[in-house]
Structure 1
Amino acid sequence: MLFRELQSLNIDFFQTAKGFINLLRDPGQTESVHDIEDGLRQAKYTQVAIEYIQSQPGVKPLVEERYLAPPPNLDSLLELPSNSLGYTYASYLTKEGFDPNFYRTLNIEDDTTYIMLRLRQTHDIWHLITGFSTDVVGELGLQAFILAQTRRPMAIVLLAGGLLRALIKSPEEMEKLLDRIAVGYRMGAKAKPFLAQKWEENWEKPISQWRRELGVELAEVYTP
């Protein structure tokens, strides 16, 4: 009975389990995140999330257009004003040694694969606009923001994995993690849909203006 119910969820259990275990071992493993996400692609709840995402103002036209930006030219972005999204994005990636095309590519076959790819393509932009760092605590805060905006199961899995890992390896971090998760969810619920934005066509716009227009309320830094 339980096995049939699990089968009905349309989850690739091997792919998802492999990614989840590797992620618990090393939270910085991007490939593990992609393994989990690919394993959940056909899950029923993923389809519910896709429907929810497209019901948000301004998102469906971009999905229908299959809008994707070309790879950014970091040198050109560094010539923009220092308060702009483009300059901040390029300087951040350059300083951290990150590749703007770090994500696993997908063949766009339907709305689900398009949205997954667009989320991967703009992940670092979401970090910058929300102000969440790229360490484990910041990533969980961003995942809570993403959950509020998209309802995607991937965010739930990452949040559960992060809390479980903290419970086992660093329980003293739990209060801080829960605070960032709560803050991220509230921010995501209040902000306008990030998936409705063509960020790359407005690189020159100041980050402060993006935040103001999207209703992003930056949280105070956590202090125990």
Structure 2
Amino acid sequence: MSRTELKEDAFDLALGILQVARDPEHGFKHSRHFSPIFKWDLQKEWLNRFSTHPQIQSLVDERFGVPWPSFDDMRAMPIGSLGFCAQQMFRQLGMNPLPPVNKNLRKVADTNKKEEYVSRRLRSFHDIHHLILGVDTSVAGEAAVQAYYAVSQQQPGVVAGLSALMTHSFICPDEHRMIWEAISFGTQVGLAGVFLEGCRWEEGWERPLAEWRSELGLTSLLEISPFQDEIHRWETLPS
């Protein structure tokens, strides 16, 4: 990489971090500035290491993926199940369960089928990770998930998004404490060895959310979560 290209990439990343910090509600739009990350040797090394994780490698080798049930099918599942809770969350928050593809990042990922699969799977289940961890979709909630990713995946690219959310805490002092408590929580979950990325969620939509959490070792960790109002929010029918 030439010095000029390095400067351009550094400027683009810095711009992305500041834009997301100032406007986190439109983070997807600003994430186009994070595309230089995919050129990092550290990021490429991470992909090779991560994709050979015992729980990930089988998914990659199979290109495992099962179509999601419809919202109506999920709603008919047992109350408190993963599928039931997921559709509750998606419906009430007006969320798209399958986020749109960031074309700028996809250009890089398309050159590597393994990377494309891993990237697509992580993106597809990002909101399920929010649900399993019992964190909301606020800036603090996203900070918790990104902090967890930084520890569990050891992915260098996550640092950019996490840096933006940290910076946001200085721009908006009223959110400062909650963001840092969320980062602490996500970090502790990762350090405890919880690993969400290798789960075959598609095979367990009808399993209770509480059962998933217990199996993953989350039950006691949720007791120290700063998101106590969120943990069981989607497990019952709306009043």
- Aligned partner of 2:226 in structure 1 is 222
Amino acid in the other structure paired with 2:120: L
Query: What secondary structure is seen at the aligned counterpart in 1 of 2:222?
Result: coil
Answer yes or no: is the 8 Å Cα contact 1:72–1:100 preserved in 2.
no
Larger relative contact order (CA 8 Å, sep ≥ 6): 2
Amino acid in the other structure paired with 1:114: Y
Residue 37 of structure 1 and its aligned partner are, at CA, apart by: 4.8
Distance 1:37 1:201, change over 3 A: farther
**Of the candidates 82, 85, 88, which is equivalent to residue 85 of structure 2?**
88
The 10-residue stretch of structure 1 (101-110 or 131-140) with the greater mean CA deviation from structure 2: 101-110
Distance 1:51 1:185, change over 3 A: farther
Alpha-carbon distance in 1 for matches of 2:98, 2:174: 35
Residue correspondence of structure 1 range 92-131 to structure 2 within 5 A: 92-104=89-101, 106=106, 109-131=112-134
Alpha-carbon distance in 1 for matches of 2:174, 2:41: 36
Summarize deviations over 1:153-192 as a string: whole Å, max 9, x none.
332111111111221x223432332221111111022244
Query: What secondary structure is seen at the aligned counterpart in 1 of 2:38?
Result: coil
Alpha-carbon distance in 2 for matches of 1:33, 1:126: 22
- Aligned partner of 2:45 in structure 1 is 48
Matched, 1:145 2:142: no
- Aligned partner of 1:202 in structure 2 is 204
- Aligned partner of 1:132 in structure 2 is 135
Query: What secondary structure is seen at the aligned counterpart in 2 of 1:218?
Result: helix
Answer yes or no: is the 8 Å Cα contact 1:71–1:101 preserved in 2.
no
| TM value normalised by structure 1 | 0.85
- Aligned partner of 2:230 in structure 1 is none
- Once superposed, what is the RMSD of the aligned Cα atoms? 2.8
Answer yes or no: is the 8 Å Cα contact 1:53–1:150 preserved in 2.
yes
Amino acid in the other structure paired with 2:38: R
Aligned residues: 219
Distance 1:128 1:86, change over 3 A: same
Unaligned runs of 5+ in 1: none
Amino acid in the other structure paired with 1:136: V
Distance 1:5 1:69, change over 3 A: same
Answer yes or no: is the 8 Å Cα contact 1:183–1:219 preserved in 2.
no
Residue 146 of structure 1 and its aligned partner are, at CA, apart by: 1.1
Unaligned runs of 5+ in 2: 228-239
Distance 1:142 1:25, change over 3 A: same
- Aligned partner of 1:65 in structure 2 is 62
Residue 60 of structure 1 and its aligned partner are, at CA, apart by: 0.8
Answer yes or no: is the 8 Å Cα contact 1:103–1:120 preserved in 2.
no
Query: What secondary structure is seen at the aligned counterpart in 2 of 1:60?
Result: helix
Answer yes or no: is the 8 Å Cα contact 1:46–1:153 preserved in 2.
yes
Summarize deviations over 1:112-163 as a string: whole Å, max 9, x none.
2221111110011000101111100111011111111111233211111111
